[in-house]
């Protein structure tokens, strides 16, 4: 699986873009939480190869963020052995990106999940909010958000709306639509006609079947045409009727002396 656009945006929002400089670039930073110094970090929470004094452009920060995420996507794909929906996958990648792949691999969260206990796994997010044995407000909020996303069903693709109140048109169809209807039905009838006249008794049954098919197609076309108001439809029906009469006369096998 791959991280969704929504999942990507959420992780970027959780991490934030730090520490931004006036020209839009960013520099490496190191925070202290509950008396413990965190890793050197830059951009959207990137820590790989980061050191004091490092400066990135915004483009470098964006590229590094996407590249670093692939490590955590691969880790979730490798470690999880049960089926995941997109929301569950996104939440786990976010968790791994913040806590680390080792934390996910050794967690009760993963053990419960791989046993099929999705609810039990969701309950485990809340325990990963401490730094130096004390909770951090931002982590508490993030874990609660990830657990909520993990439990959120994936919405099915909406079906197109189909009106249930249908009205008869107040104006007759255009000449273009009439021509298209007659042409389509005419092509259907033409496809039933044999390429060459049938003259042998052996082909009599086949001819009869074709003629019956032509008759049914002609009937449908004529009925459609005559159900509409106006002389063009009547002419269309007469045209089809004449064609059927010619087909009956031309294609039925004649007796030979």
Catalytic residue among 15, 52, 73, 157: 15
pLDDT tens-place string over residues 124-164: 999 999 999 999 999 999 999 999 999 999 988 777 777 88
Average pLDDT over residues 164-169: 78
Q: Which residues pair with 35 in a beta bridge?
A: none
Environment class of 84 (CB within 10 Å of its CB; exposed 0-12, middle 13-18, buried 19+): middle
Q: What angle do CA 249, 254, 256 make, to 5 degrees?
A: 160
DSSP track, 72-103: HHHHHHHH--S---HHHHHHHHHHHHHH-HHH
Decide if pLDDT at 50 tops 90: yes
- Report the pLDDT value the prediction gives residue 161, as an integer from 0 to 100: 78
- Rounded CA-CA distance 151/142 in Å is 14
* For residues 52-77, average pLDDT: 97
130 has which bridge partners?
A: 135
Examine the residue annotation and report whether 15 is marked as an active-site residue of this protein. Answer: yes
> pLDDT above 70 covers what percent of the chain?
67
Protein fold of 5-151? Lysozyme (1.10.530)
Q: pLDDT, tens digit, for every residue of 181-227?
A: 555 555 554 554 444 444 444 444 444 555 455 455 555 555 555 45
pLDDT value for 212: 54
pLDDT at 228 over 60: no
What confidence score (pLDDT) does residue 204 get?
44
Mean pLDDT of the chain: 81
pLDDT at residue 253, rounded to an integer: 52
pTM above 0.75, yes or no: no
| Start-end of CATH 1.10.530.40 domains in the chain | 5-151
Q: In the prediction, which pLDDT does 187 show? A: 55
Q: Quick check: 237 and 227 in contact, CB under 8 A? A: no
pLDDT tens per residue, range 10-37: 999 999 999 999 999 999 999 999 999 9
Q: How far apart are CA 43 and CA 57, in angstroms?
A: 9
What pLDDT is stored for residue 201 in this prediction? 46
């Amino acid at each position: 699986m791959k991280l969704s656009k929504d999942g990507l945006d959420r992780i970027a929002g959780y991490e934030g873009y730090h520490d931004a400089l006036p020209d839009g670039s960013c520099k490496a930073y190191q925070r202290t939480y509950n008396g413990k110094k965190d890793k050197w970090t830059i951009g959207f929470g990137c820590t790989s190869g980061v050191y004091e004094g490092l400066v990135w452009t915004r483009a470098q920060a964006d590229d590094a963020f996407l590249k670093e995420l692939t490590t955590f996507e691969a880790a979730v794909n490798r470690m999880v052995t049960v089926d995941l929906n997109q929301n569950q996958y996104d939440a786990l990648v976010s968790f791994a990106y913040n806590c680390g792949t080792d934390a996910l691999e050794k967690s009760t969260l993963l053990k419960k999940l791989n046993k099929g206990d999705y609810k039990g796994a969701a309950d485990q997010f809340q325990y990963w909010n401490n730094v130096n044995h004390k909770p951090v407000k931002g982590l508490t909020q993030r874990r609660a958000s990830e657990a909520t996303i993990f439990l959120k069903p994936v919405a099915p693709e909406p079906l197109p709306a189909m009106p249930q109140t249908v009205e008869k048109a107040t104006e007759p169809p255009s000449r273009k639509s009439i021509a298209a209807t007659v042409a389509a039905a005419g092509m259907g009838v033409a496809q039933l006609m044999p390429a060459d006249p049938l003259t042998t008794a052996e082909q009599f049954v086949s001819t009869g079947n074709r003629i019956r098919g032509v008759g049914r197609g002609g009937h449908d076309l004529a009925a459609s045409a005559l159900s509409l108001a106006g002389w063009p439809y009547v002419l269309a029906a007469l045209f089809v009727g004449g064609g059927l009469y010619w087909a009956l006369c031309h294609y039925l096998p004649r007796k030979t002396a």
